[in-house]
Amino acid sequence: MARPLGGPVDRAPAGVNNGDMEGFSPSESAKPRQTPLTGWHVAHGARMVDFAGNMMPIQYSSILTEHHAVRKSAGMFDVSHMGRLLFRGNSALDWLDRLLTCRLRDMAEGQARYSLVCSEAGGVIDDVLVTRWADAWGLVVNASNHAAMLDWLGAHRPSGASLEDITQATAMMAVQGPDWREACPAFIGSIVDGLGNYRGRMLELGGLVWRVSRTGYTGEEGIEIVAPAQSATSLADSLLAAGVAPCGLGARDTLRLEAGMPLYGHELDSATDPFQAGLGRSVDMKKEFVGKKALISRMGDTTFPVRVGIQLEGRRAARQGDAVLDKSGKPIGKVTSGAFSPTLGHPVAMAYLDRRHARPGEDVSLSVRESMLEGTVCPLPFYKREQRG
Amino acid sequence: MSPSDLRYAKTHEWVRVEGDECVVGLTRFAVDQLTDVTYIQLPKAGRKVSTGEGFGEIESVKAVSDIYAPVSGEVASVNEALNSDPGLVSRDPYGAGWLARIRVPGVPDLSGLMSAAEYEAQVSGSPH
């Protein structure tokens, strides 16, 4: 029992571990940043952890309780650790269009899209959410890639465009789960009234800007709110009063895993291209962007492993780095994320496998801490919410 | 809060001497830190273990932790009920959630273990 209990704070669970921090230099030796909600989390009994340089809650009650709250009613997450950037000026669109893999030029005001950012070699530098707000283009980047993304954006900055980093001046909260709408303060609900998934709207209230969009990272319906930093705790208080369960990064990880969503540092890294990751729908090969040339040559190469889901028998979970073997015992890939799935009641994993073994139904073995577990390749996501209405 | 009739390892296992066997479990502090236990891997009866040796694993939704033998001896039996209900260890860590019985020849060497008061002092100094 000494291993997980020895440190000054709990180690982050797999999925939010410090191995994801490579490339993020400013905070590595510095004191972790307090988000506008760090004090709120502590006051509400959260177990805290330094995640990519931010003091964040891992869990309040238990990961299982929080996970089920999101699937069955509603949960709230502080996601203020993620980087929030705004782009303005005549060439803001050109700037982003050259660096993001998804199509941007056809996006309507208020529309949001998931995108990858690739290096010249075609590897993924970050996965981001881009939104065409009424006053600017918005980008949400991973906390662990925040500094690297600022460098990358700066190196490709055209004239006639400016970047504003609003990460410190704002908080970001996600409200996720089937009851999100009932649980939201009325003015938040009115901002997103009538909006479908991947649509957002902004509102100026007393000189402060709120940006709310129908997005999330759990596989449930819900919203993400970029709020003025000074309004963050009162927002959290009103959500709590409405019965929304505070949730930590632990539940966020099991929820996104069930929903088949990649996590940078696990399913995505600079050696992996978007097609291997099964994210080709977020790549517009009809436009020009950094990394496209490399992707064209990589697309024809079948030796790159591809991302799959694996369902395991029993109760033991595979974890990042565990080897996947075929029935003859030959290594065919590696696990990138794994956990016991609270919704499905059995362990699940995402892995990168040799394409010849990546078909759903393929039986595989997993080498987990000196034991062999049995699993079956399956389609992603593991969990899909029931469509309502 | 920790039962005073038990002895404690700094790695959060407890020991109760019953005749020539030592009953071994995990402390309340340890299981509270883990939460949401999904699986417990225990050794087979007959395995010889030495003090400090990793002889099992406890797995929660997110993390895997080793369980260390607090005494040397031979595993006499393990708590089979944990296979179907690993949550027992969280609900009743000092009773129905015991882990294993280790047969110790002669007088068990408990010199490296702590009293309840000493263990309490250790965990109260450990931030959580």
Please name every residue paired with A335 in a beta bridge, in sequence order, or none if there are none: A351
Residue B69 lies in a domain: yes
Residue B120 lies in a domain: no
Chain B closest CA to A31's CA: distance in Å?
Answer: 18
| Predicted pLDDT at B108 | 86
Residues of chain A with CATH 3.30.1360.120: 2-82+167-258
Q: Is the pLDDT of residue A380 over 60?
A: yes
- Range of weakest confidence among A297-301, A305-309, A347-351, B77-81: A297-301
Contact B39 A369 (CB under 8 A): no
| Chain length of chain B | 128
Q: Is the dihedral of CA A385, A386, A387, A389 positive or negative?
A: negative
- Amino acid sitting at position A282: S
| Predicted pLDDT at B107 | 84
Q: Does B11 touch chain A (CB under 8 A)?
A: yes
Over residues A58-91, the pLDDT tens digits come to: 999 899 999 999 999 999 999 999 999 999 999 9
Average the pLDDT over A314-338 and give the result.
Answer: 96
Average the pLDDT over A149-178 and give the result.
Answer: 98
Which class is domain A305-389?
Answer: mainly beta
Q: Is the pLDDT of residue A10 over 50?
A: no
- Amino acid sitting at position A61: S
In sequence order, the 6+-apart residues with CB closer than 8 A to the CB of B101 are B18, B21, B22, B23, B24, B75, B76, B77, B78
Distances (CA, A) of A351 to A275, A291, A327, A348: 14, 24, 16, 10
Residue B34 lies in a domain: yes
Number of domain units in chain B: 1
Among B39, B68, B86, the residue with its CB nearest the CB of A1 is B68
| Predicted pLDDT at A25 | 38
State how far Cα A250 lies from the chain centre. 13
Query: CB contacts < 8 Å between A and B, how many?
Result: 78
Average the pLDDT over A2-20 and give the result.
Answer: 36
Contact B62 A3 (CB under 8 A): no
Among B39, B66, B68, the residue with its CB nearest the CB of A316 is B39
Residue A348 structure tokens: 């699940």
- CA dist A285 and A77 (Å) reads 35
Residue B115 lies in a domain: no
Judging contacts by C-beta atoms under 8 Å, the chain B residues touching residue A13 are 61-63
Over residues A183-216, the pLDDT tens digits come to: 999 999 999 999 999 999 999 999 999 999 999 9
| Predicted pLDDT at A194 | 94
Residue B43 lies in a domain: yes
Contact A340 B38 (CB under 8 A): yes
Q: Is the pLDDT of residue A253 over 80?
A: yes
Distances (CA, A) of A46 to A123, A242, A316, B108, B128: 36, 19, 26, 40, 10
Residue B114 lies in a domain: no
Over residues A40-52, the pLDDT tens digits come to: 999 999 999 999 9
Contact A64 B36 (CB under 8 A): yes
| Predicted pLDDT at A29 | 53
- CA dist B67 and A5 (Å) reads 12
Question: Domain A83-165 belongs to what architecture?
Answer: 2-Layer Sandwich (3.30)
Among B38, B65, B128, the residue with its CB nearest the CB of A1 is B65
Over residues B62-103, the pLDDT tens digits come to: 788 999 999 999 999 999 999 999 999 999 999 999 999 999
Among chain A residues, the shortest Cα distance to B58 is held by A1
Query: At B105, is the pLDDT very low, low, confident or very high (cuts 50, 70, 90)?
Result: confident
**SS (HEC) of chain A:** CHHHHCCCCCCCCCCCCHHHHCCCCCCCCCCCEECCCHHHHHHCCCEEEEECCEEEEEECCCHHHHHHHHHHCCEEEECCCCEEEEEECCCHHHHHHHHECCCCCCCCCCEEEEEEEECCCCCEEEEEEEEECCCCEEEEECHHHHHHHHHHHHHCCCCCCEEEECCCCEEEEEEECCCHHHHCCHHHHHHCCCCCCCEEEEEEECCEEEEEECCCCCCCCEEEEEEEHHHHHHHHHHHHHCCCEEECHHHHHHHHHHCCCCCECCCECCCCCCCCCCCHHHCCCCCCCCCHHHHHHHHCCCCCCEEEEEEECCCCCCCCCCEEECCCCCEEEEEEEEEECCCCCCEEEEEEECHHHCCCCCEEEEEECCEEEEEEEECCCCCCCCCCC
Query: At A367, is the pLDDT very low, low, confident or very high (cuts 50, 70, 90)?
Result: very high
Residue B95 belongs to domain spanning: 7-106
Q: Is the pLDDT of residue A256 over 90?
A: yes
| Predicted pLDDT at A8 | 31
- Range of weakest confidence among A29-38, A277-286, A297-306: A29-38
B38, B59 contact by CB (below 8 A): yes
| CATH H-level, domain A2-82+167-258: superfamily | Probable tRNA modification gtpase trme; domain 1 (3.30.1360.120)
- CATH number assigned to the domain comprising residue B86: 2.40.50.100
Among B39, B61, B66, the residue with its CB nearest the CB of A1 is B66
Judging contacts by C-beta atoms under 8 Å, the chain A residues touching residue B36 are 62-64
Among chain B residues, the shortest Cα distance to A337 is held by B62
Q: Is the pLDDT of residue A16 over 70?
A: no
The angle at the Cα of A213, spanning A212 to A217, to the nearest 5 degrees, equals: 120
Q: Is the pLDDT of residue A165 over 70?
A: yes
pTM (2 decimals)? 0.89
In sequence order, the 6+-apart residues with CB closer than 8 A to the CB of A219 are A255, A256, A258, A259, A260, A261, A381, A383, A384, A385
Residue B128 lies in a domain: no
Contact B35 A319 (CB under 8 A): no
- CA dist B78 and A88 (Å) reads 65
Q: Is the pLDDT of residue A317 over 90?
A: yes
